[in-house]
Structure 1
Amino acid sequence: MIPRKLPKKNLDGERFMHCIYCQGLFLKKTLWRHLKICKFKRSDVKPKPGRTRVQTLCGFAQPPPPGVTHGVWKLLNAMNQDEVALAARNDWSILELGKHLYNKCGSRIKMHEYIRQKMRELGRLLICARKVSPLTSIKELTNPENFLHTVDAVKETAGYNEKTGLYENPSIAVKLGQSLNKIAMLIESQSIISGDKATAKAANSFQQLYQSRWSEYISASARRTLEEAKWNKPTLLPFTEDVKLLHLYLDEQEKIYYKLLSAQPLSHHWSKLAKVTLTQVMLFNRRREGEVSQMPLSAYTSSIQSDAHPDISMALSELENKLCQYFKRIEIRGKRGRKVPVLVTPSMQESINLLIKNRNRCGVPNENSFLFARPFAMTYYRGSDCIREFARECNIEKPETLTTTKLRKQIGTLSEVLNLSNTELDLLADFLGHDIRVHRQFYRLPEGTLQLAKMSKIFLALEKGRLADFKGKSLDEINIDPEEKVTVDSDLEDTQLKECTQVSAPHTAFEDCNDSLLQADRGLKNKASAPQTASEHCDDSLVPADKGLKKKGEVKRTPWNQQEVHAVEKHLMKFIKNRNVPRKTDCVRCIEAEPQALKNREWSALKFYIKNRISALQRKDLAHKFS
């Protein structure tokens, strides 16, 4: 290979690329600089900013390998041209999976990123396999004789820790197993077509191994890591006040950029108004960000606001008939191919119409089919990025809670408060784009709230012996005070309590007895030679009964001293500020960093200390919110 400019030292040939115009060979990292001054470049070609885009443009000029379609080759060249892309480009099995996915869903532009992601995952697996095993291709990884090597390569890719039994990226381990099984199916079908029975039999054997042993080696521990990571995490839902502030801020920004775009149709003004309108549509409809972000232009232009049927209008109220005329309804593709509606207000319609009118003036290509498209690109604005940007700008209290997922859960939670009927819940679930079973399992009140608010009533009634008092009542009708005292029925103990009251004047019977019980429990009872008073006699007689109660309800707690609190806050204060409960590894790391101060504390004590601090702050925030 003869480059245009000789490098100072020997370099790998994969670090060079040909210019699309003059076919000269240049280093990839300096190719963008040459493309600016290339004499063979046509005058009508507009330069694209960015170094990676230049590499992608020049990659298209290279002919695809035999058997690789132009669409798959285009996906490969659109990747970041690094070691992973090189491994994916040169492996037959990865290319076959890319062809399979492209034939299946390549007509949808939004799925191209998914196909690239799957191919890059296998590229990273191949790189790790070459480091930890003698295998050099994905096809060798699907050979049943190399099954244990495949397991080691997947563990290395997912960051498996032998000591803790945890994965750094557990989802990668699950996804790689599914991709390898799919590649084995492709190899088997291809071998059957070509008449290679031995290869087909080997691929089928790998699929059987995957079904029987993959869970044992990989997926069981990976899924367990994923599930345990969700435990003890606080469920943060958006505050109504924060959502209201964001709505008001977006309305102000919409008016500003609508005027600017009307006066000066510039790409910057177009981008800002597109982001604001996209966020408004997502926020108003509580739609998934991917559904609204990828809304095609044709879905909006082809929607017709038709009048309601006269028979249906008679069944609606006057207000409902006005709302039908106020909103415009658009039908788009939702999750799993469902048809989901989007409601657009008149102000949103005005902004969208202005965006459509100025698409060509602001640099949006005609080939870009998305409604909220990026100028000078074939992609669209991501809704998650837009809502995160505006949540930070409007200075709300908790911007991290304003995500489309949490907003959808908020409306599901409020639907429980409204006590909607089954028909109304079906209508809400259908509008949100999921099944009623999904709504009941994931979108209703958080599981912890239900257990605290509902099930605790049953166990309180059992503890206080009052379960028979609530016979025939529902959980909502049960009303019991958690601070209610349990009465003692024994006549002997009633007499002893009266004696305690008479002797210890300023204290109540319960306070005097509790003090003596605490002394008996800690082994601090005074054994002086003085004669016992009536109250002391009462304490001694009640100690055996208290021991039985202590085993059931009381927990010995050691107060936190100043040195321990300082040690914990030094290393775990960030969890308190972010309202996140630390994991076991974080607590253990804190104890190892402060062995002298925390020598008497277990890792679970640190975790519950942080959890209690977070709960106190949340109660304080809630009290401040309603004050």
Structure 2
Amino acid sequence: MILSGDTTEVAKCPTTGQLRKVFERGDTTEAAKCPTTSQLRKVFERVTVAGGAKIAGKRNYRKPDYCFFCKNMYVSKISNHYMNIHAKEPRVEEIANLPCHSAMRKRLFTLLQNDGNHLHNCMVLQSGCGELTVSRRPGHKDGASAENYLPCVDCKAWVFKKNLSLHSKKCPAGKLKDTNFLRNSQMLLSPFLSYDNEDEEIEDIFLKMKETVKYPGLKTVCQQDSLIKEFCRGLVHKIGTEGEQRRKDKDNIRTKVRAVARLLVGLNERTNQSLSLEEYIKPKTFMLIVNTVKDMGMHSPNLALTLGHYIKQICQLKKSVALQTEGELKRKEADDFDLLYQAHWNNYVSAVSLRRQKLRSLNKTLELPLTSDLVKLKDFLDSKIESFLSKFHHSYQEWIDAAQALMVRLILFNKRRVSEVEELKSADVIDNQNSSDSQDIIDQMDVTERALAKRMKVIEVRGKSTRGLRKVYIILSEQMNKACLHLLSTRMHAGISPTNPYLFARCERSPLDGCQAMRVMSERCPDLENPERVRTRLLRKHLATTVQILDMTGDELKMVADHMGHSVSVHTDVYRLQSSLLEKTKVARALIALENGQMSKFAGRTLASCTIEELPAAEEEENSDNSESRSDSVSKEGSEQSDIEQRKGVKRKSQEQEDNNKFRCGPHPRKRWDENEEKTLFLAFKESIDLKRNPTAVQIKKAQEKYPCLKLRSVAVIRSKINNINLGKCKFQLS
């Protein structure tokens, strides 16, 4: 039955015809990519959920449904209304022809019911007040807040947003779906949201877009295409309010919009037409888009990969606007295009571009900054900071030079990105002075960690990631902390505005350019061999590569990755380079041992513990190189004699291996100490054994040079043997 008395708030909503006129005028085409949480909260401020509020202290089981055709509300079975009133509608006729109680009939009824409820919910959001109808009434744990519900992209059922991934497994639409359910649902919802002064902001982004000789007219293309505008609108909403934005967020939006505009220009050049982007999001033009993107990706594979993500989002935007205007043809075109995209895009574009990108990186040398240059630059910056701390009155240029030196010093020490340091706020430094560490944790640290905890300060700043809003850390030494405070206390005398919130400020309400500061300081520093390599990207790769030398655990590696502001997989796959020097040293040890059949000799040991004396192949290669250099002066008889000696040496080695195999114990081969070796060991390290002190590696190597029989044992084995003697674990006794 129809309950007209319960629709007082819904009646205030505009009808579908009114909405269609509004959208045709272009006044509220609000399709967006991904609204922020604060924007969604503002839209749902006066919207409630049906069945959410209790009635007289009891749970409200009322769940109304809305007809897709007549827009009326029903609390009884809406399937009876469809069969009795709208039996001549094509969708209802298709359902009526199916067997009763069949699964297909039930599924189609559910989809029709969801479409009617979704249309009603969109009208509620457009008006800013009313009652949402969701697929399941809110439970006592979920809460009845309307902002917790989002529509499914395929079946249009409004689901609790935390359950979107669970709903996708049993969605009545049964389509292949993107795994980013939250983003896609917000994208579907965003055209119905209302925002203030956004058209001026979008127009401002287009006006500040630079024209280039290579790609002229992109600004005009963006201003005239409706889908590109909606794409830009979504990106603007995603970065939030001005207080939440970063300085270069809008520049990044311009870069993304330019890429889409280049795609549209390329499509029009291929077809010799002047069509909008919406006309190309069709199944029949899918291969045209594929070929255009592949051509654009020949010189830049990363551009082809990026455009693939943008095309997916633009397809969702077209579907969203079509749902808003009830354009069934456009919605079907977007759905079919999406199916083709999911079926073929990876094989045609993504896989090809990824392979091309990796092939181009093979044997490509990346010159990292020299350690000597970094030490010289560090000393140069420290001297400038010390000079700055000795004065209290500075001119504007002196203050700017000191600020640039301190900024580069922080980047150099922390290996941070430029934007993470240059946008450091004055309030962050001031608030950090009163912070204190937990005494319980400090008590459990060793002496070195306690000293560092006392000397260092840590400031939390916003990292690069926009999804999880990852926080990263800037570590300040005592000198850096003093310089930051001195920078704040002298900025008024230098003519810096007190309203500028940034630590490294200038006259305008903006910070200093960190990239320019890196270039200036590296050029001013004397005696640098390669100043052009001192850049943040190379500094971060330098850190990730050189820490391979350390024997780090998984937790320690994760701490380094967290400090750099990314995951461990990104750290190992992107930043860390497999240096050819490491390949020639550490990996070559294992290959030499394996080639000579002596891998079992090094069982249970690390690659670093394998010395050059234990790798006979290396000695043979040295000898062979020397013999080749003297090959012209050696006679034939001498070469025959050397061959005989070589064969004798092989026999001696094979005999030694057989002797070693006699003393195998368990899975690891082990050679016992004979009486001669033990006497030599006692003679060489008598002082260490008497004092019950383990010898150093230098002492062991000197003993090996003096007593050749000890060369058959590694430094670690000799040290372990002496340690066992000192601890009384050794069974033999020497007089």
TM-score, length-scaled by structure 1:
0.60
Match of 1:148 in 2: 287
CA displacement, residues 401-459 of structure 1 (integer Å, 9 cap, x when unaligned) = 32223323333344343324444444333333333444444555726445433443343
How far apart in 2 are the matches of 1:349 and 1:476?
A: 39
How far apart in 1 are the matches of 2:304 and 2:318?
A: 21
How far apart in 1 are the matches of 2:269 and 2:495?
A: 47
- Would you say 1:273 and 2:405 are equivalent positions? no
Residue segments in structure 2 that go unaligned for 5+ positions in a row? 1-195, 622-632, 647-735
- Tell me which of the two structures has the higher relative contact order, counting C-alpha pairs closer than 8 angstroms and 6 or more residues apart: 2
Q: How many residues align?
A: 424
Structure 1 residues 136 and 310, CA, compared in 2 at 3 Å: closer, same or farther?
Answer: same
2:246 aligns with one of 90, 109, 113: 109
Give matches, 1:416-565, under 5 Å: 416-442=548-574, 446=578, 448-471=580-603, 473-478=605-610, 479-485=614-620, 504-505=636-637, 507=639, 509=641
| Amino acid in structure 2 at the alignment position of 1:154 | V
Give matches, 1:63-142, under 5 Å: 69-80=199-210, 83-107=217-241, 108-110=245-247, 111-133=249-271, 134-142=273-281
Give matches, 1:579-594, under 5 Å: none
- The answer to whether the Cα contact below 8 Å between 1:235 and 1:446 also exists between their aligned partners in 2 is no
Give matches, 1:122-271, under 5 Å: 122-133=260-271, 134-156=273-295, 158=296, 167-255=298-386, 262-266=392-396, 268-271=397-400
Structure 1 residues 468 and 263, CA, compared in 2 at 3 Å: closer, same or farther?
Answer: closer
How far apart in 2 are the matches of 1:215 and 1:502?
A: 64
What secondary structure, in the 3-state scheme, does the structure 1 residue paired with 2:365 have? Answer: coil
Query: Quick check: 335-344 or 182-191, which moved more?
Result: 335-344
TM-score, length-scaled by structure 2:
0.52
Match of 1:524 in 2: none
How far apart in 2 are the matches of 1:225 and 1:513?
A: 53
How far apart in 2 are the matches of 1:420 and 1:465?
A: 29
How far apart in 2 are the matches of 1:219 and 1:259?
A: 57
| Amino acid in structure 1 at the alignment position of 2:454 | Q
The alpha-carbon deviation at position 94 of structure 1 amounts to: 1.2
- Would you say 1:306 and 2:435 are equivalent positions? yes
CA displacement, residues 481-525 of structure 1 (integer Å, 9 cap, x when unaligned) = 443449xxxxxxxxxxxxxx99834555569999xxxxxxxxxxx
Match of 1:52 in 2: none
Structure 1 residues 79 and 380, CA, compared in 2 at 3 Å: closer, same or farther?
Answer: farther
CA displacement, residues 312-364 of structure 1 (integer Å, 9 cap, x when unaligned) = 33223455434333332211111321122212234333443344456577676
Match of 1:392 in 2: 523
The alpha-carbon deviation at position 199 of structure 1 amounts to: 0.8
- The answer to whether the Cα contact below 8 Å between 1:338 and 1:433 also exists between their aligned partners in 2 is yes
Match of 2:421 in 1: 292
- The answer to whether the Cα contact below 8 Å between 2:411 and 2:421 also exists between their aligned partners in 1 is yes
Structure 1 residues 477 and 264, CA, compared in 2 at 3 Å: closer, same or farther?
Answer: closer
- The answer to whether the Cα contact below 8 Å between 1:305 and 1:329 also exists between their aligned partners in 2 is no
What secondary structure, in the 3-state scheme, does the structure 1 residue paired with 2:461 have? Answer: strand
What secondary structure, in the 3-state scheme, does the structure 1 residue paired with 2:458 have? Answer: strand
Structure 1 residues 88 and 263, CA, compared in 2 at 3 Å: closer, same or farther?
Answer: same
| Amino acid in structure 2 at the alignment position of 1:453 | T
Match of 2:411 in 1: 282
Query: Quick check: 468-477 or 423-432, which moved more?
Result: 468-477
Match of 1:45 in 2: none
Structure 1 residues 461 and 295, CA, compared in 2 at 3 Å: closer, same or farther?
Answer: same
Structure 1 residues 411 and 169, CA, compared in 2 at 3 Å: closer, same or farther?
Answer: closer
Structure 1 residues 423 and 128, CA, compared in 2 at 3 Å: closer, same or farther?
Answer: closer
- Would you say 1:375 and 2:504 are equivalent positions? no
How far apart in 1 are the matches of 2:521 and 2:358?
A: 32
The alpha-carbon deviation at position 100 of structure 1 amounts to: 0.4
Structure 1 residues 512 and 308, CA, compared in 2 at 3 Å: closer, same or farther?
Answer: closer
How far apart in 1 are the matches of 2:536 and 2:492?
A: 30
| Amino acid in structure 2 at the alignment position of 1:139 | E
2:477 aligns with one of 334, 345, 370: 345
What secondary structure, in the 3-state scheme, does the structure 2 residue paired with 1:302 have? Answer: helix
The alpha-carbon deviation at position 226 of structure 1 amounts to: 1.4
How far apart in 2 are the matches of 1:311 and 1:358?
A: 38
Structure 1 residues 315 and 252, CA, compared in 2 at 3 Å: closer, same or farther?
Answer: same
How far apart in 1 are the matches of 2:274 and 2:302?
A: 23
CA displacement, residues 274-297 of structure 1 (integer Å, 9 cap, x when unaligned) = 221211111111212222123334
Structure 1 residues 211 and 456, CA, compared in 2 at 3 Å: closer, same or farther?
Answer: same
- The answer to whether the Cα contact below 8 Å between 1:307 and 1:325 also exists between their aligned partners in 2 is no
- The answer to whether the Cα contact below 8 Å between 1:76 and 1:116 also exists between their aligned partners in 2 is yes
Structure 1 residues 472 and 287, CA, compared in 2 at 3 Å: closer, same or farther?
Answer: closer
Query: Quick check: 453-462 or 467-476, which moved more?
Result: 467-476
Structure 1 residues 462 and 70, CA, compared in 2 at 3 Å: closer, same or farther?
Answer: same
- The answer to whether the Cα contact below 8 Å between 2:395 and 2:494 also exists between their aligned partners in 1 is yes
What secondary structure, in the 3-state scheme, does the structure 1 residue paired with 2:432 have? Answer: coil
- The answer to whether the Cα contact below 8 Å between 2:394 and 2:490 also exists between their aligned partners in 1 is no
Match of 1:56 in 2: none
CA displacement, residues 525-559 of structure 1 (integer Å, 9 cap, x when unaligned) = xxxxxxxxxxxxxxxxxxxxxxxxxxxxxxxxxxx
- The answer to whether the Cα contact below 8 Å between 1:174 and 1:222 also exists between their aligned partners in 2 is yes
How far apart in 2 are the matches of 1:122 and 1:502?
A: 72
How far apart in 1 are the matches of 2:572 and 2:293?
A: 36
Residue segments in structure 1 that go unaligned for 5+ positions in a row? 1-65, 161-166, 487-500, 515-627
Q: Give me the CA root mean square deviation.
A: 3.5
CA displacement, residues 556-591 of structure 1 (integer Å, 9 cap, x when unaligned) = xxxxxxxxxxxxxxxxxxxxxxxxxxxxxxxxxxxx
Structure 1 residues 283 and 468, CA, compared in 2 at 3 Å: closer, same or farther?
Answer: closer
The alpha-carbon deviation at position 118 of structure 1 amounts to: 0.8
How far apart in 1 are the matches of 2:524 and 2:549?
A: 31
- The answer to whether the Cα contact below 8 Å between 1:416 and 1:445 also exists between their aligned partners in 2 is no
- The answer to whether the Cα contact below 8 Å between 2:202 and 2:233 also exists between their aligned partners in 1 is yes
The alpha-carbon deviation at position 115 of structure 1 amounts to: 0.9
How far apart in 2 are the matches of 1:511 and 1:398?
A: 50
How far apart in 2 are the matches of 1:228 and 1:507?
A: 47
Match of 1:324 in 2: 453
| Amino acid in structure 2 at the alignment position of 1:231 | L
| Amino acid in structure 1 at the alignment position of 2:424 | M
How far apart in 1 are the matches of 2:456 and 2:417?
A: 20
| Amino acid in structure 2 at the alignment position of 1:274 | A
Structure 1 residues 172 and 278, CA, compared in 2 at 3 Å: closer, same or farther?
Answer: same
The alpha-carbon deviation at position 304 of structure 1 amounts to: 3.7
Aligned sequence identity (%): 27
- The answer to whether the Cα contact below 8 Å between 1:364 and 1:375 also exists between their aligned partners in 2 is yes
